[in-house]
Structure 1
Amino acid sequence: MDRHAARAPRHRRTLLGLGLAAAVTLGTAGAAPAAAPHATAVPSASAASAALKAPTAAVRPELPAPTGPHPVGTLSTRLVDRSRHDPWVTSQPYRELMVSVWYPARKAGGARTAPYMAAGAAERWDAAAPHGIPQGAVDWAGMRSHARQGAPVDARGGRLPVLLYSAGAGDPRTWGTSLVEELASRGYVVVTVDHTYEAPGVQFPDGTVRDDKPLRDALAGVDGDEALSRLLKKVLEVRVADDRFVLDRLGDLPGGLSRVVDRGRVGMVGQSAGGVAAAETMYEDRRVKAAVDLDGTLELNGEPNGTHLTPVAEHGVDRPLLLMGRDGSDHTTEPSWGAFWSRTPGWKRDFTLRGSRHQTYTDLASVLPQAGRPHDVVEKNIGTVDPERAVAAQRAYVTAFFDRWLRDRDGRLLDGPSARFPEVRYVP
């Protein structure tokens, strides 16, 4: 183990809060580098995968079905920002992103359900052995979503509010599919964003996969708290720039979606670094009317001590923000959340999920128990909370929040403790 790998535990809390722990692991696991500029054609199977494949057959976990009244459709598209060089590979004179759009659909009998992850991206994710899941144990490409690929959008209800979803740093855009499908089934258009060269594998329509080697190289060069803070600041700045660019392109979505999105009703939700990006993008861009931060610390430190605050934590924000943290993490214990709380006089809420851990707010809550992992691996990642209840609670609170602020529908769930969800703690 090199000296930077040995340093990783000291920064564990912030790296987890920003989702960079997986990237640190990738940086010390000897993952094969891609050809310049960090793009490779999709292989059928890598030699490393063949050598390290788990001895048992791969499982295909099933995500819980969305519960809203609408069928769900999805499509993916490439967006190119020619106004800036790529911040991670500066020799590339433009920034390119892959996004997926999830939306209420008309019934599409013959349309196939979309794969959970594109094959090339899935291979890279599998090679990372994420969160204690050995290579080959989960068939990430074989998993299916509940959304119909390319199904026609249901525009009969008029224009629809639109949400951006952002995953944790080093995680794929699919990592919140269960939540995203629920929101789409309840009448939202949701755009999920992969941050190129930060996500472990981003597959583009020409079949190439951009890997995360630039971020891993940057992490390997970190030496000291100030250097780490600068890197975390760059990660956040890149994400906010990406998200603002996607907002710029909402009028250019394919499949007739540009005609149904209501660009006057925009929200953001994200987990870990995605939650930080959601809060910070709202702070910097008034097009975002409301945001949800799922367990993302609002500071850029190796340890959470209330210094190096993000601007949204340092100054507060004048639009609604919902905080949902893992067990023990709230605005009374998390310094950056406390700073935000004291500097935001307007509407805000803070809930924690009893018995939860950082990854409870991702699809791992559904995947890990089905992957047959040992109890200690499950508990380390998603805690002791019942996974089905965790998914139901996250869906209910996020939906209630956006219904309240983007649709003027207030079911009162956010006003305090709820008998429906005793595992959710209201933190006044």
Structure 2
Amino acid sequence: MRRRVPGAEHDRVTENTAGLPMSPLETLALLGALALVAARWLAPAARPRATIAAVAVLVPCAVALGMTGIRWQLLPVLAGAALALPFALLPLLRPLRRRRGRPAWRARWWLALPGSAACAGLIAAGPLAAWAFPVPVFPEPSGGFAVGTRVVQWTDQGRPETFTADPDDRRTVVVQLWYPARRSPAGAPRAQYLGRTRQEARTVAGALAGGVGLPGFLMDGVARARSRSVLDAPVDGGGGRFPVVLFSPGSGGVRTQNTAWAEELASHGYVVAALDHPYDSAAVVLADGRTLTSETSSSGDRDKDEELAAGWTAVRAADLGFVLGRLEALDRGEGADPLTGRLDTGRAAVAGHSMGGAAALQAARQDHRFQAVVDLDGFPHGPASPALGRPVLALTQALTPATDPRYLPRLTEALASGTATSYRLTVPGAAHLTFMDGPLYLPPVPSLIGSLGRTEGPRVVAAATLAFLDSALRGDPGDPAGALRAYGSLSVVRPDGGG
């Protein structure tokens, strides 16, 4: 029987409210601003009352939003209201002017119409911007476990940091864990997205925006978001051991970029460990407060970039192997930890998005502790040997004339040379960013996030991943190909060369 997800009723209420592009307070401010513009066009007797009512709604909402933090999407709404306010107040001043013997002035309709249209256009830009760049609302995980999360930092004392010139600098990684958790009290605050604190989330959001040449304020909503997991929630008390999935983000990506995917896996009884790769991830905030930003960038030369990518992938693969070793030590009880004795590191998979997918493939080649690989639209980099000895699920977007012509042959070679049955699943309607959290908060442009909508893409990616992992790590009976075909066009690559 499926276990009820703790706090699900509360979360559904939260989602129904937060799923709107604008909060109730922002919506009231928007309606007040529109009423202020419309008041100019009402019958003379109704204008004063409409104006007073609009101001009575708008001003308290603006003050309250100013105290809690105004999103940039509301600024055009307030600007339009400010421009409309003097003209809306004129009808209230006419009786006073008449008593003083001054003529009452009113703009002709053909003069007022362009101004009203401009104000209405500014106000309408607010909800449009909120729809294009929303505060992401994470889907409720469908599994039987509640989800907890926490962040750890580990240093590999045996490996120098190759991105710095300091000979004493050692490679340090920041890892976020998502795990099956006990029920939290109703109303327990959910974990901040993108960071442990709001300040860290702002830092990371700004770095992500800067990495693609966008102004930082466009990511303001992302820094405000909360995920579905609870920070430092107690581990589920059932006593079972959980398979482990390590995750590497895309180039310039961060450990939280696949939070919806990680929470879905954790709700089905997996522990997910996602890495920040210092000097590769957009921004990594260390425990001592330092922020390490990305030092990787394209040279513009395809051959040189391939060489650079192979080097960066090797560093990431080493990070993944190191973290699996730390998880093994944690499970053995080397240091008091709630997950001691609960991690089944003998059933470990390695996954990644984009360059992280390439790192996952390399990690599995080098480290036989990994029992399965999930490559989320990752172009293979680095050596093609030794052959992969573990099953691979490669999820890709539909190939187009704009796709790098080397991608499919390179991926096919990696899968075909393996010694285990692997799967390539092409997800219809997917784009490269469909395979991470991007659809939840980026503009719904098909070339950017695909055509599956804000939640369907992440759902399909997580469901396909679970179908594969349940077979590869848990030995679920039956051929996983049957389940995977429900999510797209499937190619099965068998070690004997059959398909």
Aligned equivalents of 1:127 and 1:417: distance in 2? 36
Q: Which structure has the larger Rg?
A: 2
The number of aligned residues is: 352
Q: Paired residue for 1:43?
A: none
1:107 and 2:183 correspond: yes
Please give the per-residue CA displacement for 1:4-42, whole angstroms capped at 9, x wherever unaligned: xxxxxxxxxxxxxxxxxxxxxxxxxxxxxxxxxxxxxxx
Cα deviation for residue 142 of structure 1 reads: 1.6
Identity of aligned residues (%): 31
Does the CA-based 8 Å contact 2:248-2:351 persist in structure 1? Answer: yes
Please give the per-residue CA displacement for 1:62-98, whole angstroms capped at 9, x wherever unaligned: 1111111100001101111111211111315211111
1:293 and 2:375 correspond: yes
Aligned equivalents of 1:169 and 1:385: distance in 2? 23
Which of 194, 199, 209 is the aligned partner of 1:117?
194
Does the CA-based 8 Å contact 1:71-1:104 persist in structure 2? Answer: yes
Cα deviation for residue 314 of structure 1 reads: 4.6
Instruction: Give the direction of change, closer, same or farther, for the CA distance of 1:333–1:71 in structure 2 (3 Å limit).
Output: same
Aligned equivalents of 2:412 and 2:373: distance in 1? 17
Aligned equivalents of 1:353 and 1:131: distance in 2? 25
Instruction: Give the direction of change, closer, same or farther, for the CA distance of 1:358–1:335 in structure 2 (3 Å limit).
Output: same
SS in structure 2 of the partner of residue 257 of structure 1: coil
- Matched to 2:176, the amino acid is S
Please give the per-residue CA displacement for 1:261-291, whole angstroms capped at 9, x wherever unaligned: 0121111111101111111111110110001
Which of 317, 324, 347 is the aligned partner of 1:247?
324
SS in structure 1 of the partner of residue 424 of structure 2: strand
1:231 and 2:308 correspond: yes
Instruction: Give the direction of change, closer, same or farther, for the CA distance of 1:273–1:258 in structure 2 (3 Å limit).
Output: farther
1:81 and 2:156 correspond: yes
SS in structure 2 of the partner of residue 164 of structure 1: strand
Does the CA-based 8 Å contact 2:467-2:484 persist in structure 1? Answer: no
- Matched to 1:365, the amino acid is P
Which of 447, 450, 455 is the aligned partner of 1:388?
455
**Structure 2: 5+ residue runs without aligned partners?**
1-71, 76-125, 493-499
- Matched to 1:249, the amino acid is R
Cα deviation for residue 134 of structure 1 reads: 4.6
Q: Paired residue for 1:319?
A: 390
Cα deviation for residue 398 of structure 1 reads: 0.3
1:163 and 2:245 correspond: yes
Q: Paired residue for 1:9?
A: none
Does the CA-based 8 Å contact 2:161-2:170 persist in structure 1? Answer: yes
Cα deviation for residue 230 of structure 1 reads: 2.4
Aligned equivalents of 2:278 and 2:157: distance in 1? 15
Q: Structure 1 residues 252-261 or 392-401, which shifts more?
A: 252-261
Q: Paired residue for 2:170?
A: 94
- Matched to 1:427, the amino acid is S
- Matched to 2:411, the amino acid is W
Instruction: Name the TM-score, length of structure 1 as normaliser.
Output: 0.76
Please give the per-residue CA displacement for 1:383-428, whole angstroms capped at 9, x wherever unaligned: 223343322211111001111111112464523764x44xx11124
- Matched to 1:137, the amino acid is L
Which of 278, 283, 286 is the aligned partner of 1:204?
286
Instruction: Give the direction of change, closer, same or farther, for the CA distance of 1:127–1:284 in structure 2 (3 Å limit).
Output: closer
Please give the per-residue CA displacement for 1:354-382, whole angstroms capped at 9, x wherever unaligned: 121111101002222xxxx3x5xx22211
Instruction: Give the direction of change, closer, same or farther, for the CA distance of 1:261–1:226 in structure 2 (3 Å limit).
Output: same
Aligned equivalents of 1:141 and 1:128: distance in 2? 11
CA RMSD of aligned residues (A): 2.7
Cα deviation for residue 125 of structure 1 reads: 3.0
Give the 5 Å matches for 1:178-197. 178-197=260-279
SS in structure 2 of the partner of residue 89 of structure 1: coil
Cα deviation for residue 209 of structure 1 reads: 1.3
Aligned equivalents of 1:333 and 1:263: distance in 2? 32
SS in structure 1 of the partner of residue 379 of structure 2: coil
Q: Structure 1 residues 150-159 or 288-297, which shifts more?
A: 150-159
Does the CA-based 8 Å contact 2:250-2:354 persist in structure 1? Answer: yes
Does the CA-based 8 Å contact 1:106-1:151 persist in structure 2? Answer: yes
SS in structure 1 of the partner of residue 158 of structure 2: coil
Aligned equivalents of 1:247 and 1:160: distance in 2? 14
Instruction: Give the direction of change, closer, same or farther, for the CA distance of 1:414–1:122 in structure 2 (3 Å limit).
Output: farther
Give the 5 Å matches for 1:10-25. none
Instruction: Give the direction of change, closer, same or farther, for the CA distance of 1:240–1:90 in structure 2 (3 Å limit).
Output: farther
Q: Structure 1 residues 234-243 or 108-117, which shifts more?
A: 108-117
Q: Paired residue for 1:47?
A: none
Cα deviation for residue 180 of structure 1 reads: 0.3
Please give the per-residue CA displacement for 1:131-184, whole angstroms capped at 9, x wherever unaligned: 686522333332111111101101414211111011101011110001000000
Q: Paired residue for 2:410?
A: 336
Does the CA-based 8 Å contact 1:104-1:188 persist in structure 2? Answer: yes
1:356 and 2:437 correspond: no
Q: Paired residue for 1:14?
A: none
Instruction: Give the direction of change, closer, same or farther, for the CA distance of 1:226–1:425 in structure 2 (3 Å limit).
Output: closer
Instruction: Give the direction of change, closer, same or farther, for the CA distance of 1:199–1:266 in structure 2 (3 Å limit).
Output: same
Which of 241, 245, 260 is the aligned partner of 2:342?
260
SS in structure 2 of the partner of residue 258 of structure 1: coil
Does the CA-based 8 Å contact 1:121-1:200 persist in structure 2? Answer: no
1:405 and 2:472 correspond: yes
Larger relative contact order (CA 8 Å, sep ≥ 6): 1
Aligned equivalents of 1:197 and 1:387: distance in 2? 30
Instruction: Give the direction of change, closer, same or farther, for the CA distance of 1:134–1:425 in structure 2 (3 Å limit).
Output: farther
Aligned equivalents of 2:301 and 2:458: distance in 1? 38
Instruction: Give the direction of change, closer, same or farther, for the CA distance of 1:223–1:417 in structure 2 (3 Å limit).
Output: closer
SS in structure 1 of the partner of residue 320 of structure 2: helix
Aligned equivalents of 2:155 and 2:350: distance in 1? 21
